[in-house]
Amino acid sequence: MNKQVRIKINGSDYLMYDEITVLNACRNAGIKIPTLCYLEGVSQRASCGLCVVEIKGAKSLMRACVTNIREGIEIFTNTKRVRQARKTNLELLLANHPRNCLQCNKNMKCELQSMADELDVRECNYPNIRKKKVPVDNSSHSLFRDHEKCILCARCVEVCSQVQTVDAIEIAGRGMDAHVTTFFDRGLGNSECVNCGQCLLVCPTGALMARSEIDSVWKEIDDPDKFVIIQTAPAIRAAIGEEFGFPPGTGTTVRLAAALRKMNFDRVFDTQFTADLTIVEEGNELIERIKMGGTLPMITSCSPGWIRFAEEFYPGVLDHISSCKSPQQMFGAIAKTYYARKLNMDPRKISVISVMPCTAKKFEARRSEMTSAYEYWEKELKLKEKDRFPDVDYVLTTREMADMIKEAGVDYANISGERFDSPLGISTGAATIFGTTGGVMEAAVRTAYFELTGSELPKLDLEEVRGLKGVKQASLDINGKKINVAVSHGLSNAREIIREIKKGKSPYHSIEIMTCPGGCIGGGGQPIPADYEILKKRMEALYREDREMQVRQSHDNPAVKELYESFLDKPLGKLSHSLLHTKYTKRGIYS
């Protein structure tokens, strides 16, 4: 057990537990220490040098993020020597950085830029000595890297390694040749990167960004021959308000629908419609596996980063993953078949735009398997291979959508609320909680219980799978049979679950795996920052909306019922399977 020690900070006495860093001691005392490379609980490489402090008796300045306190230590955080050292270290970073802030997508949101303002660095006393020229990496459908803007803080490297356990990137080279790269410099699109975008959330500059599709979407909107449909994922409503000054956890569902309608989309729909559809299909798939002796445990499939992770690192568990497409891809397939028929419109005139919290959704939309609508119409419209079109045309992140709303001049803070269009905008509370870790499992349990018993679950809230614990589990008695379920979020936790399966020791029937910490609310396309407290507030916003919904179970969605009655026929039927289900690909060296 840690003992308490007496320390001094800037002449004031404090009593704190030992074995904490000087940085955390100062923060506990309400004293801010500037940092760029430090990431609490993840990265403390001490590379930026901005956290230096003066310690009595020490000849040199010490880096606060890697120096522990001890009994009697005296720390000074704002002496002339400290202030000058921080400015010098920041100027050295700026000397090796492009000075074209107005051309950078991170302008006004850049930590390096903010730090220069905070430390009153108005000019750089060192020549602009640029790094060795490394081409922009645009090999990925989801992300791009601009080496010139990288300050080698290694936060992206540590998150990829420690939080997601993917290890797609590392720092290679020395001195002026040092740069963040993939194995053999092949580019993110040719590496084991799963496109999760967690690196984007921690990058302090514009070195790592999502591949923007804003210009392409504007082009679609401006094309008079296109009928442009937009769908918005559950997690968006709990976070996009932060981009417009709302406190974290402010639900802005009706504002979002109204803002999108003002931007001249032809229909404003909700991915929650197909989240309900996913639950019906996936729930029936689980029941069929249990009854027919299929592969168990069955793992959810709505998180494309997790799918890519399994394909790369654990191809042996692909049979455990539900064959259901994600709600995004189900929506695209339904919009260009069922809804196209309702409109009596050529599906090639329909453009489906997604607003997602997830950068991996950009990759998912480009998967070769995601052209089910084309295959549905192929014979009827006499289509050729050159006519092949995707189910989802473009994917915007939450941040991209916020930028577009601002560009369009929509006053998001004061706009009057509106509802989503019908029928693909009708959803339930179960679909709303899809956006948070545990939500998919909770929604699935509500429907699976009904399908197996014919009656409603006595208590809809499954508290055991809520919260931000890495792995959660619950057991339910359904018709005298014990059903065990588990939930994990963040790929390091997914590995723990998969190891049990590979050893044949998994006690579960169903498992939910989400790629990002917190689930979709913590996706790589969400507003920055996305720390623990912010994730909790976004999570509660979704649970609050669920509680306020009149219909809270996916199988009770009237629009989903009508979809089956008039088009799909039944869950797991022939048409359902061709439009709503998919297959997976073994990738990487583990295949």
> Of 242, 282, 311, 512, which is the active-site residue?
282
**Among 469, 504, 501, CA closest to 487:** 469
Contact between 335 and 352 (Cβ < 8 Å)? yes
Q: Which of 285, 312, 442, 545 is catalytic?
A: 285
Catalytic residue among 47, 142, 191, 322: 322
The residue type at 88 = T
Q: Is 213 among the residues known to form the active site?
A: no
> Catalytic annotation on 361?
yes
Q: Which of 110, 196, 358, 520 is catalytic?
A: 520
- The verdict on whether omega for the bond into residue 327 sits within 30 degrees of 0, i.e. cis, is no
Residue 196 CB partners (closer than 8 Å, separation 6+)? 164, 166, 305, 358, 359, 360, 491, 515, 516, 523, 524
Is 322 annotated as catalytic? yes
Catalytic residue status for 19: no
Q: Is 281 a catalytic residue?
A: no
Catalytic residue among 106, 149, 336, 361: 361
Give me the catalytic one of 74, 118, 369, 451. Answer: 369
Q: Are 214 and 403 in contact (CB under 8 A)?
A: yes
Catalytic residue among 110, 160, 193, 302: 302
Paired with 485 in beta bridges are: 474, 510
Rounded to whole angstroms, the Cα distance separating 65 from 40 reads 9
Active-site entry in 148, 220, 242, 364 = 364
Take residue 115 and report the two structure tokens written for it. 């730090």
Helices 272-292, 439-453: crossing angle, 10 deg rounding:
60
Q: Is 150 a catalytic residue?
A: no
Q: Which two tokens stand for residue 155?
A: 């936060």
Buried b (16+ CB within 10 A) or exposed e, 362-381: bbbbebeebbbbbebbeeee
Report the C-alpha gap between 78 and 159 in whole angstroms: 31
Residues with a known catalytic role: 282, 285, 302, 322, 361, 364, 369, 520
